[in-house]
Amino acid sequence: MDVRLVTRAGVERHPVEALGELLRRVSVVPAGGGEAESPDDADAVETGTEFVWVDIPSCEKDAERVLLDVFGFHPRAVHDCAERNLVAKTHSYADHVFVVLHGPEQGVGGHVHYIELDQFIGRHFLVTVHGPINPAVDPSVALRETSSVLARMDAGRLRPASPFDLSHAIVLALAASQERFVEALTADVWGLEQRVIAGHFGEPEPFLDELFRARHGLLAARTISALNRETYARLMGRVWALPAGVRPLLAEITDEFEQVRGLADVQREYLQGVIEFYRTRIDTKMTIAAERLAVIAAITLPITAVSSIYGMNIIVNTRTRPEQLIIVLIAMAAMSAALLRWAKRRDWW
Residue ranges of domains in the chain, CATH in brackets? 2-35+47-280 (3.30.460.20), 287-345 (no CATH)
227 vs 335: CA distance, rounded Å: 68
In this prediction, residue 5 has a pLDDT band, given cuts at 50, 70 and 90, of very high
Q: pTM, whole model, 2 decimals?
A: 0.78
> In the prediction, which pLDDT does 73 show?
94
In this prediction, residue 317 has a pLDDT band, given cuts at 50, 70 and 90, of low
Rg (CA), the chain: 34
Q: Let me know if 233 is exposed, middle or buried by CB neighbors in 10 A (0-12, 13-18, 19+).
A: middle
> In the prediction, which pLDDT does 39 show?
37
> In the prediction, which pLDDT does 33 show?
43
> In the prediction, which pLDDT does 48 show?
55
Between 243 and 143, the more confident residue is 143
> In the prediction, which pLDDT does 31 show?
44
> In the prediction, which pLDDT does 47 show?
46
Given a cut of 90, is residue 312 above it in pLDDT?
no
Given a cut of 90, is residue 249 above it in pLDDT?
yes
CB atoms within 10 A of CB 32: 13
Amino acid at 313: N
Quote the Cα angle for 286-280-197, to 5°.
Answer: 110
Q: pLDDT tens digit string along 20-33?
A: 899 988 874 444 44
Mean pLDDT of 321-335: 78
> In the prediction, which pLDDT does 346 show?
67
Average pLDDT of the chain to the nearest whole number: 85
Between 314 and 21, the more confident residue is 21
Q: pLDDT tens digit string along 142-170?
A: 999 999 999 999 999 999 999 999 999 99
Q: Is the backbone peptide bond immediately before 132 cis, with ω within 30 degrees of 0?
A: yes
> In the prediction, which pLDDT does 131 show?
84
> In the prediction, which pLDDT does 309 show?
67
Mean pLDDT of 107-134: 93
> In the prediction, which pLDDT does 37 show?
39
Q: pLDDT tens digit string along 168-199?
A: 999 999 999 999 999 999 999 999 888 888 87
Q: pLDDT tens digit string along 31-86?
A: 444 444 333 433 333 445 799 999 999 998 899 999 999 999 999 999 999 999 99
